[in-house]
Chains A and B, each alone.
Chain A
Amino acid sequence: MVPLTWYLILAAALFCIGLFGVLARKNAVAVLMGVELMLNAVNINLLAFWRYTALGQLVGQAFAVFVITVAAAEAAVGVALFIAIYRQRDTVNVEELDDMKG
């Protein structure tokens, strides 16, 4: 039996890798990929806890399904935004999107 802790550490590692991708990459799509990794890490976490603490119910799976749904919606909108920005500014470098610069 794989201890719960292993799953959690895996999820943590995946999450931090995804976090790194979000905060350190220049390309917008790369950032989006990092976000997907983070969401997957969350899913792993959810299912791990479900498997080890609430196996009788199906709450974990349902929750994970919703997370996936949201991720999908978010990815769609995000890509649409990148395309619109690309058309407007001819760049997808997030560093160049600094209109709010004070």
Chain B
Amino acid sequence: MHESSAPFIYNLTILLPVLPFLAFVLIVLWANRSKQLSARLAMGGIGLSWLIGWAIAFTAFGAQDIAENPFRMVRDWLPVGRAWQAFGFMIDPLSALMLLMVPFVCFLIFVYSYGYMGVGKPAGAHDQRGAPAEPGHVDPLASRFFAYIALFATGMIGLVLADNLILLLVFWEIMGLCSYLLIGFWFARKYDDPKKITPKEAGLKAFLTTRIGDTLMLAGMLLLFAQVGSLSFSEIFKPATLEHLATTTTNIILIGPVPWATLIAILIFCGAIGKSAQFPLHVWLPDAMEGPTPVSALIHAATMVSAGVYLVIRTFPLMAAVEHGAALQFIAFIGSFTALFAATIALAQNDIKKVLAYSTISQLGFMFAALGIGAYVAATFHLLTHAFFKALLFLGSGSVIHGMEHGHHEGHGHGDTVTGGQGDVPHHAAPDHHVTVSPGHSFDPQDMRNMGGLFRRMPRTAWTFIIGGLALAGFPLVTAGFWSKDEILADAWAHNQLVFAGLAVAALLTAFYTARQIVMTFFGAPRTAAAEHASEHDSIFQWMTIPLMALAVFAIAFGWFGIPTTFPVLGQLSSNPFHHLIGGLAEALHLEAKELPFSAVPLLTSVVVALGGLFLGWLVYRGVAQIGQRGEDALQLRDPLARPLGRVYPVLQNKYYFDEFYSKVFVKGVQRLANWLFRFDDVWVIDPVVDGVGKVWRRISDWGQAFDERIVDGIVNGIGALTAAVASAARVIQTGRAQNYLLVGLVAVSVLLGVFLVAPK
């Protein structure tokens, strides 16, 4: 391979974010009247990005020195002082790997959305803009949906390709915007229960919470720029630069001297805390489930939330700059704490999507914990495998929910209204666009207590979901999740046994609640009429189940790329290409990333925890599964865990009351301040002062007017009057009689003559 000329395909990198963006622009400006066309444009754009992305990724995988000499496409863009900051895209092992996953998963989800949004179905007569459509109808705002997810895809693809923190931030914010727009996609939806958060509120909550993280991250970036003078990755990660940042310190009050590297690293990590929903900024992710399920899969499982992890992986040399530094310890602590914390909450959730949401938070915690202990390769591995199986699980849940709605529709006709999940059926669409809930029996198709026995009725969904669930739980050998989780546990065992313990417990809980979810949803007998009539027969399910199957393949097979060579038996068959690739990058960055020698403890722990957790879950919940038809009583079902956990159970179910705490402490306080400021401005001080000044000035101008009228005009008129008076007086001379005039001449001559005569000579 020639050193000087890079493969031509790399030049197409610029197309990768541009194609979906082009789709976005075309839909917004032109295509949005036709839902089919919009959907196809979006799918076309992302599809092309996927294919080109894979071409570039595989070319990069084959390149020998892609780690040391990443491909760069940059351009001087931002003038700063006397120099230019160059922005552009970069292909290195990490970005190539992300290119393998991101456009592909996006494409699958776009295809899924075609079915989920009901594109191709007729429009419903009662369907309201900004509310979900009735089953069998297309969503009224489907074009908008595709525009938004196309823009989002631009953001994520751009993020993984960026070679500069500023450019990364740009795409980071684009994704934040799309997240807000998409969570609140069904903006007209309102609920009777005031405690239940509406999509509009949820979008705002997501935006504001991540903003806190973003602000701290921006502060970190500014400090970094101040110290280094550039935010380009190639500049920041030079060994000399890192050395400088690690050794120079700054004084922080009450804490003392802190190395710049630590301070900046922690601030940037705060951005990841927000974006990846780690404790304490985790509160927005469960409520983000108000958005349509493809959104949950795309943004809140596979891509956006993992952007936080990606950021930390990217800036890992900075995080690790200080030997045994506080930054990595902090990351490890937050990660492992969150992993455990979120897993406990997931145990007590009844909404199928909420369980998955907390599961996502927990798994992201795993990744951060891994990074915190220095397991660079393991964390990256888990990031990728998690993207596949979590997306699979969410899409599966969406399929389940649609199936439940169809079942409800058939079972009850138009009798009942459906709330809470997808498919509000407003019978009285009020003219003020207020989606009202008719009194009567309200049915939540997302509540797992209403499900049961769906295995026979929705087989494809069931199989793929179960595969995803097993991957999440870490079922040994055949699932990708096992390999990545095992590697994290192995690294934890080798470096930090406290973290190991915490992650092991979290893994046990993960397997437990996964089994709980699968059993309650698919096994046993249906507990409601809706579950009984649920089916996959509608044409939309064609669009939805194919991506499920594709993802299921990856959820199984992807793990095999990362089988450690030291693994018993299977290790000899594997060359561990994953480790080779990412490990190469780590070495180029002077990070420690060698394959660990085999240790039985983590492997055994991994297997026991996974299988044990699954078994326990099945054991505890199979009673629930067999309860059978409950009809309206389904929601009265008592969870088998409620009694043993006693008072702890409601705490878990209410998410440790974090939302209430934040609301009381922060939100209400800010509202009170805003109110006080309003009164200061409009009522007490500012407005009265302004009005007062206005009144004074008014009086001055009145005086001025009087002055002008009386004095100035008086003078002017007076002069006129004076002239007229003088003229009147002088007019007397003009008698009009020639004799008078001549007399004057006579008199003058006489006088002159007299003067001549009399004057002395």
Contact = CB atoms under 8 A, between A and B. Distances in A.
B734 interface: yes
Nearest to B743: A23
B683 to A, nearest CB: 72
Contacts of B746: 19, 23
Interface string B728-744: 00010111111100110
Contacts of A58: none
A48 interface: no
Given A19-B746, A23-B746, A100 B739 contact: no
A99 interface: yes
Contact of A94 (B731, B734, B738, B743): B738
Contacts of A95: 737, 739
A102 B736 contact: yes
Interface in B694-736: 731, 733-736
B736 A98 contact: yes
A21 B691 CA distance: 84
Nearest to A26: B739
A23 B739 contact: yes
Given A19-B746, A23-B746, A94 B735 contact: no
Given A19-B746, A23-B742, A23-B743, A102 B734 contact: yes
A98 B742 contact: no
A99 B743 contact: no
Interface string A12-34: 00000001001110000001000
Contact of A102 (B731, B738, B742, B743): B731
A92 B736 CA distance: 15
A100 B734 CA distance: 7
B736 A94 contact: no
Which among A22, A23, A94, A101 has the greatest number of chain B C-beta atoms within 10 A? A23
B733 A102 contact: yes
A67 to B, nearest CB: 20
A12 to B, nearest CB: 12
Nearest to B734: A102
B737 to A, nearest CB: 5
B739 A98 contact: no
A59 interface: no
Contacts of B734: 100-102
Contact of A101 (B736, B739, B742, B743): B736
Contacts of A102: 731, 733-734, 736
- Chain B interface SS verdict (over half): helix
A10 interface: no
Contacts of A22: 739, 742
A22 B746 CA distance: 11
A101 B738 contact: no
A99 B734 CA distance: 10
Interface string A76-99: 000000000000000000110111
A94 B733 contact: no
B742 A94 contact: no
A95 B743 CA distance: 14
A51 B735 CA distance: 44
A102 B727 CA distance: 10
A30 to B, nearest CB: 11
Nearest to B738: A94
Contacts of B733: 102
A31 B731 CA distance: 26
Interface string A51-83: 000000000000000000000000000000000
A23 B745 CA distance: 11
A97 to B, nearest CB: 7
Nearest to A20: B746
A25 B394 CA distance: 131
Interface in B395-441: none
A98 B736 CA distance: 4
B737 A98 contact: yes
Contacts of A94: 737-739
B743 A98 contact: no
Contacts of B742: 22-23
A25 to B, nearest CB: 9
Nearest to B742: A23
A8 to B, nearest CB: 15
Contacts of B731: 102
Contact of B735 (A23, A24, A31, A98): A98
A85 B273 CA distance: 117
A52 B735 CA distance: 44
Contacts of B737: 94-95, 97-98, 101
A27 to B, nearest CB: 12
A99 B738 contact: no
Nearest to B745: A23
A98 B733 CA distance: 12
Residue from B733, B734, B735, B739 having most chain A Cβ neighbours under 10 A:
B739
A102 B735 CA distance: 7
Contacts of A99: 736
**Residue of A24, A94, A97, A100 most packed against chain B (CB within 10 A):** A100
Nearest to A100: B736
A24 B738 CA distance: 11
A22 B742 CA distance: 9
A94 B737 CA distance: 7
B733 to A, nearest CB: 7
A84 B497 CA distance: 141
B139 to A, nearest CB: 96
B651 to A, nearest CB: 112
A71 to B, nearest CB: 18
A101 B733 CA distance: 9
A22 B731 CA distance: 24
A93 B737 CA distance: 11
Contacts of B739: 22-24, 31, 94-95
Contacts of A98: 735-737
Contacts of B738: 94, 97
A99 B736 CA distance: 6
Nearest to B730: A102
Contacts of A19: 746
Contacts of A97: 736-738
A15 to B, nearest CB: 12
21 contacts: A22-B739, A23-B742, A24-B739, A31-B739, A94-B737, A94-B738, A94-B739, A95-B737, A95-B739, A97-B737, A97-B738, A98-B735, A98-B736, A98-B737, A99-B736, A100-B736, A101-B734, A101-B735, A101-B736, A101-B737, A102-B734
Given A31-B739, A100-B734, A102-B731, 12 more contacts: A22-B739, A23-B739, A24-B739, A94-B737, A95-B737, A95-B739, A97-B736, A97-B738, A100-B736, A101-B736, A102-B734, A102-B736
Interface of B: 731, 733-739, 742-743, 746
Interface of A: 19, 22-24, 31, 94-95, 97-102
